[in-house]
């Protein structure tokens, strides 16, 4: 296909995958993840043992899924404040339903509740034309109250089988949680990149007016993003319930800011229309594991938030600085 005369580097630079990552601002987070992983393994080679891989995967998986959900909302130009509450609600729904129903039924029910929450947010935002942040802030109180109504203290009936299916090992060295995340991410990526609907989700955040003028339905795209996001959060909540073996009406709380941070780290545009699935997974992995690295490096774990913030600023800032410097060099040499 391509002419053999083109050097490998140039061909790589022009490959559609890399161009896509670049366009979606995800090159820096992917590189940062590689660097982070190398440092992690250097500090703690034990990571590559079966047990540690499994715990690391269980730590990262729920955050990765919630971050993907947040990415969807950011793509259509909003920020979802209710992810934490939806996560708590679906978490306790799953844990309590396990008391009477089979794990499959409980899981489907939890995902349905998550999508229902997304539908509620989406209808008010896309068709009610209300600001996303106001809608999700309000709904987060509603969903949070519902969660405590369902289960007011940690409990539920998470069986060992469920724990194994969500946070065990599929095969040696292959944590199940990682597989769930990768399957969800791959499906989401296919939807966003390979269907018109996915491109519409990007378009709705980029220029909703333009989409309407071209005869496209931006509201349906926005609503779809909300519903899918609800489902992804529920999936994250199920994995969390499995790995902690309990349902907890406050379990989602730590995930709100971390999910927003992961989307920021992934290089997504908070005005909508730009953001990458691959970058978000990498960003979630970094943020989820910063605490571990510091622990193994013998640093007080309070520092993890500081280090996490430094990473965000560095990964988001370095490309900007590089671009500015190169512009100045070019300007001076011209």
Partner 1 sequence: MTSPTSTLPGAPATPVDAAPAEAGGASLGHRGDAAPVLVAENLTKSYGAVHAVRDVSLACLGGEVHALVGENGAGKSTVAKMLAGAVVPDTGLVRVGGEPLSSGSVRTARRHGVQCAFQELALVPDWTVAENLCLPDGSSLRRFARGRETREAERVLAALDLEHIDPRRPVHEMPLADRQQVEIARAVSGDVKVLILDEASSALTPPGVEWLFARIRELTARGAAVVYVSHRLGEIREIADRGTVLRDGAVVSDFQRGSWTDDELISSMAGRTAARAFPAPPALEHADGPAALEVEGLAGEAIHDVSLTVAPGEILGIGGLQGHGQAELLRSLWGAEPATARTWRVAGKAIRRLDPVRAVHAGIGFVPEDRKREGLALEMGVGENLLAPWTRPHERGGAPRLKREKGWIDEVLGGLSVRTRGAKERSGALSGGNQQKLVFGRWVGRDRRLVLLHDPTRGIDVRAKQELYDAIVALAREGVGVVWFSTEVEELVHVCHRVVVLYRGAVADELQGERLTADAVVGAAVGRRAVA
Fill in the per-residue mask, 72 to 91: x = in contact with partner 1 (CB under 8 A), - = not in contact: --------------------
**Toward partner 1, which CB reaches closer, 199 or 250?**
199
CA atoms within 13 A on the CB side of 33: 20
Report the alpha-carbon distance of residue 271 to residue 274 in Å, rounded: 8
- Identify which of 75, 116, 69, 91 has the alpha carbon closest to the alpha carbon of residue 233: 69
Residue 148 makes contact with partner 1 by CB under 8 A:
no
- Identify which of 324, 328, 311 has the alpha carbon closest to the alpha carbon of residue 28: 311
b/e burial code for range 100-132 (CB count within 10 A of at least 16 → b): eeebeebbebbbebbbbbbebbbbbbbeeeeeb
DSSP string, 285-323: HHHHHHHHHHHHHT--TTHHHHHHHHHHHHHHHHHHHHH
3-class state of residue 271 by DSSP: coil
Within residues 268-307, the interface with partner 1 by CB under 8 A covers: 269, 273-274
Candidates 48-56, 143-151, 196-204, 250-258; binding stretch for partner 1 (CB under 8 A): 196-204
Residue 331 makes contact with partner 1 by CB under 8 A:
yes
Question: At closest approach, how far in Å is the CB of 57 from partner 1?
Answer: 31
Q: Are 315 and 36 in contact (CB under 8 A)?
A: no
| DSSP 8-state assignment for residue 127 | I
Residue 194 makes contact with partner 1 by CB under 8 A:
yes
Residue 199 makes contact with partner 1 by CB under 8 A:
yes
Residue 131 makes contact with partner 1 by CB under 8 A:
no
| DSSP 8-state assignment for residue 125 | I
Residue 217 makes contact with partner 1 by CB under 8 A:
yes
Residue 205 makes contact with partner 1 by CB under 8 A:
yes
Question: At closest approach, how far in Å is the CB of 29 from partner 1?
Answer: 18
Q: Pick from 203, 230, 242, 291: which binds partner 1 (CB under 8 A)? A: 203
Q: Pick from 15, 49, 159, 196: which binds partner 1 (CB under 8 A)? A: 196
Residue 171 makes contact with partner 1 by CB under 8 A:
no
CA atoms within 13 A on the CB side of 108: 4
- Contacts with partner 1 by CB under 8 A lie at 16, 19, 23, 193-200, 202-203, 205-207, 209-217, 220-221, 269, 273-274, 327-328, 330-332, 334
């Amino acid at each position: 296909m391509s002419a053999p005369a083109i050097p490998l580097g140039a061909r790589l630079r022009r490959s559609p995958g890399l161009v896509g990552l670049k366009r979606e601002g995800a090159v820096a987070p992917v590189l940062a993840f590689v660097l982070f992983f190398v440092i992690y393994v250097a500090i703690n080679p034990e990571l590559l043992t079966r047990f540690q891989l499994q715990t690391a995967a269980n730590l990262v998986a729920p955050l990765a899924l919630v971050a993907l959900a947040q990415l969807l909302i950011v793509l259509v130009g909003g920020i979802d404040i209710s992810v934490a509450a939806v996560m708590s609600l679906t978490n306790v729904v799953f844990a309590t339903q396990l008391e009477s129903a089979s794990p499959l039924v409980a899981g489907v029910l939890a995902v349905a509740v998550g999508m229902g929450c997304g539908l509620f947010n989406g209808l008010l935002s896309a068709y009610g034309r209300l600001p996303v942040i106001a809608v999700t802030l309000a709904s987060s109180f509603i969903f949070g109250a519902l969660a405590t109504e369902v289960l007011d203290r940690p409990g539920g009936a998470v069986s060992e089988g469920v724990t194994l299916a969500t946070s065990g090992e599929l095969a040696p060295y292959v944590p199940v949680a990682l597989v769930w995340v990768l399957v969800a991410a791959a499906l989401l990526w296919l939807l966003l990149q390979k269907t018109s609907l996915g491109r519409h989700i990007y378009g709705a955040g980029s220029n909703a007016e333009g989409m309407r003028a071209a005869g496209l339905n931006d509201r349906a795209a926005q609503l779809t993003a909300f519903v899918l996001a609800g489902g992804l959060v529920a999936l994250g909540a199920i994995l969390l319930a499995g790995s902690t073996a309990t349902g907890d009406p406050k379990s989602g709380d730590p995930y709100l800011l971390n999910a927003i941070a992961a989307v920021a780290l992934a290089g997504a545009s908070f005005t909508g229309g730009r953001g990458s699935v691959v970058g978000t997974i990498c960003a979630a992995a970094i943020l989820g594991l910063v605490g571990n690295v510091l622990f193994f490096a013998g640093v007080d774990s309070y520092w993890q938030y500081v280090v996490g913030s430094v990473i965000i600023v560095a990964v988001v800032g370095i490309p900007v600085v590089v671009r500015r410097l190169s512009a100045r060099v070019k300007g001076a040499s011209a």
